[in-house]
Amino acid sequence: MQPNFVDEKAINEAYAAINRVRASLKGGAPHYYIETYGCQMNEHDSEKIAGMLEQMGYIPAENKVDADFILFNTCCIREHAELKTFGNVGFIKELKVNNPALITAVCGCMMQQRQTAQRLAKRFPYVDLIFGTNELHIFPQMLETVIHGGRVFEVKDSDGEIAERLPLKRKGGFSAFVNIMYGCNNFCSYCIVPYVRGRERSRHVEDILEEVRKVVDEGFAEVMLLGQNVNSYNDNGVRFPELLRAVNDITGLRRLRFMTSHPKDLSPELVSAMAECENVCPHIHLPVQSGSNRILELMNRRYTREHYFTLLDMLRNAVRDIEITTDIIVGFPTETEQDFEDTLDLVRRARFSAAYTFAYSPREGTRAAKMDCQIEEAVKKERLARLNAVLLESVTGNNDKYLGYVGDILIEGLDTRGEPMLFGKLGNLKMVYVKGSPDMIGGSVRVKVTGTRFNSLVGEIIG
Ligand code: 5AD
Ligand code: SF4
């Protein structure tokens, strides 16, 4: 099914509103402050909103106190993220008392859940603007209404559209996010994402290539292609491996990364593309979620641990120096001690270079939240601690193979916590610390690994 694109007329209307706001601003430029929770997708949405604000004449504020417009871009993947938002929106009440002209807004995944958004609107009457994930392209009009004294609550039910041509203000640094697709159709039983981000929809290849060429021209060394499940990218029959090859060929691009990949859709074609494309980083984020086949089935993940191990072998055999990272959930409903042991066993064998680990958090509206035998919080916490201990051991043990290794790192910054050390990543995302001068930041150097730290490496510059 072809996705819906926001039509030219609507995008033009957004630009018209941007221009009206810009023309109406009096005095010095107003300041904006955006606080983003959650994943890269949200970070990138915030870059789009920042882009629109800057075209309207706003400039970034150093902190909330100096801001004339504050936006919280929210996440709802786990309960913790939601509680944090309620807390932090509560804090700005005082700022609003001191500065009645301050405009406050809340958007993103958590607001896409209508009841939560209504609860927030009621509890914090000083929030002027609330919108979900389907309204980014009408943000200028909504802000305009608020500037004229209105209060806006706009949470539209929709499978989602694609809006091209909106302004974008990328965060500085080395890496630029480029969306290739939006939404998710997988409905893993624990996950709220398909409900708040709509159905899978892919951008056109040409739009993606044009954007990557632009960011390379702007000087970004690295591009991160973003999608909830990049392996289901499909633009009129062009699938992800083909797209990856096309992006890889763009002149001037040094590092190409992507996330996230669902194990059920990881194809031999993608593995070949990774092996053959010289700019594609030898790294893959491949969330396994659990090591128990029984739990994987209940999670609706549609692969087994055996299949997952087959994928790891396939990747390691084909892609030189590849490192694999993952996500793991503990305490999914009905998880027994044996199921959890299966996860620990998988971790001991899988040789991950890093893992993001989570205690299962029931999300209203998902299938898992309704399952019997929810696991007690104390048990989840205890399992999470045990998992993290096993992971640390496995990740640290894995580092030994790097002693004497020679590779190139892209220097990202200076760590001044102890003796000042430059840090940067190998193509496979292993972090290496080296001695050197701060003027080397942004450059690429060849290093030899001489030691290890918990999940990173120590080395010396050799050229
Ligand atoms: N509880 C805990 N972790 C979750 N994740 C997604 N939904 C939940 C949930 N309800 C984790 C998964 C996913 C990552 C982005 O967040 O591991 O891969
Ligand atoms: Fe959530 Fe599963 Fe979709 Fe990932 S693939 S966003 S875990 S439903």
The whole-angstrom separation of Cα 302 and Cα 148 is 51
Q: Would you say the CB of residue 196 lies under 6 angstroms from ligand 1?
A: no
For a ligand 2 pocket test, name from 40, 185, 186, 366 the mutation site with the most ligand atoms within 8 angstroms of its C-beta. Answer: 186
328 Cα nearest atom in ligand 1: 17
Q: Residue of the nearest CA to atom 2 in ligand 2?
A: 188
CATH architecture designation of domain 403-461: Beta Barrel (2.40)
Q: Are residues 197 and 133 in contact, defined by beta-carbon separation less than 8 angstroms?
A: yes
| pLDDT category of residue 455 using cuts at 50, 70 and 90 | confident
- Give me the pLDDT at residue 117, please: 97
Return the DSSP state at 374.
Answer: P
Look at residue 380 and give its three-state secondary structure.
helix
Residue that has been written with the tokens 């918990």 in this structure: 454
Q: Is the CB of 362 under 6 A from ligand 2?
A: no
6-49, pLDDT tens digit by residue?
Answer: 999 999 999 999 999 999 988 889 999 999 999 999 999 999 99
CA contacts within 13 A on the Cβ side of 193:
19
Which numbered ligand comes closest to the C-alpha of 302? 2
Give pLDDT tens digits for 270-316: 999 999 999 999 999 999 999 999 999 999 999 999 999 999 999 99
Q: Indicate the angle between helix axes 40-56 and 8-24, nearest 10 degrees.
A: 50
Q: Across-strand partners of 225?
A: 178, 258
Percent of the chain whose pLDDT exceeds 90: 93
pLDDT for 1 beyond 80:
no
ω into 260 cis (within 30 of 0)? yes
| Contact between residue 335 and residue 292 where contact means Cβ atoms under 8 Å apart | yes
Residue 431 pLDDT: 96
Dihedral, 149, 59, 217, 8 alpha carbons, nearest 10:
10
Q: Can you identify the CATH homologous superfamily of domain 8-154?
A: Methylthiotransferase, N-terminal domain (3.40.50.12160)
- What pLDDT does 454 receive? 82
Say if residue 410's pLDDT is above 70.
Answer: yes
* Domain ranges for the chain: 8-154, 170-281, 285-401, 403-461
Q: Whose CA is nearest to atom 18 of ligand 1?
A: 327
Any idea which ligand is nearest the CA of 356?
A: 1
- Overall CATH class of domain 170-281: alpha beta
Q: Which two tokens stand for residue 286?
A: 């491949």
The ligand that comes nearest to the alpha carbon of residue 187 is: 2
Site to probe by mutation for ligand 2, drawn from 229, 329, 363 as the one with most ligand atoms within 8 Å of Cβ, is 229
Q: What is the DSSP letter of 250?
A: S
What is residue 39's predicted lDDT score, i.e. its pLDDT?
A: 94
The C-alpha atoms of residue 186 and residue 164 are separated, in whole angstroms, by 25
The pLDDT tens digits of the residues spanning 213-228 come to 999 999 998 999 999 9
> Whose alpha carbon is nearest atom 6 of ligand 1?
191
Which CATH architecture group holds 285-401? 2-Layer Sandwich (3.30)
Q: What pLDDT score was predicted for residue 428? A: 95
Tokens at 73, concatenated: 């871009």
- Strands lying side by side in the sheet with 175-179: 175-179, 222-226, 255-259
Ligand 2 geometric centre to CA of 49 (Å):
24
The per-residue pLDDT for range 73-129, each reduced to its tens digit, is: 999 999 998 899 999 999 999 999 999 899 999 999 999 999 999 999 999 999 999
Residue 2 has pLDDT above 80, yes or no: no
C-alpha separations of 312 from 138, 286, 296, 305, 352 in Å? 43, 9, 17, 11, 10
Ligand having the closest approach to the CA of 301 = 2
- Residue 27, pLDDT score: 83
pLDDT of residue 173: 80
SS3 153: strand
pLDDT tens digit sequence for 53-77 = 999 999 999 999 999 999 999 999 9
Task: Count the Cβ atoms, other than its own, within 10 Å of residue 77.
Answer: 21
Residue 328, ligand 2, Cβ within 6 A: no
Is any ligand 1 atom within 6 A of the Cβ of residue 363? Answer: yes
| pLDDT 10s digits, 151-193 | 999 999 988 899 999 999 998 788 999 999 999 999 999 999 9
Mutate to test the pocket of ligand 2, among 40, 182, 188, 329 (most ligand atoms within 8 A of CB): 188
The answer to whether the 170-281 and 285-401 domains have the same CATH topology is yes
Full-model pTM: 0.95
Q: Average pLDDT, whole number, for the chain?
A: 95
Question: Do residues 165 and 211 lie in contact, with contact meaning Cβ atoms separated by under 8 Å?
Answer: no
